Amino acid sequence: MASSQTQKGIITYALSANRQRPLAGTASAAVFNTYRRCKAQFLYVVPPLAFAWWVLTWATEKNEFYNSKAGRTQAPEASDEATQGGSVRG
């Protein structure tokens, strides 16, 4: 078996496909991959956030009502206790 000798004076350069176009297809793949991941997590994120938004809105409206003139006149025993200096400790 004869081995070939290395040739002198011939230089060969090679560049892999990843080095030629390192970001080939990244933009389009990122859009579809992001959509797929968001769709998969939708039911884990949106319902708790919607519920928290609803609770916050309800509590804000309730607080605004209780601190309004109509809210204070609706519950006179609470306002009587507050004006007479009722204590929490009894």
**For residue 31, what pLDDT is reported?**
92
List of residues 6+ apart from 65 with CB closer than 8 A: 71
pLDDT digits 0-9 by tens, 22-76: 788 888 899 999 999 999 999 999 999 999 999 999 999 999 999 999 888 887 6
**How far is it, in rounded angstroms, from Cα 16 to Cα 14?**
7
| Separation of first and last alpha carbons in the chain | 106
pLDDT digits 0-9 by tens, 50-59: 999 999 999 9
The widest CA-to-CA distance across the chain, in whole angstroms, is 112
Check pLDDT > 70 for residue 2: no
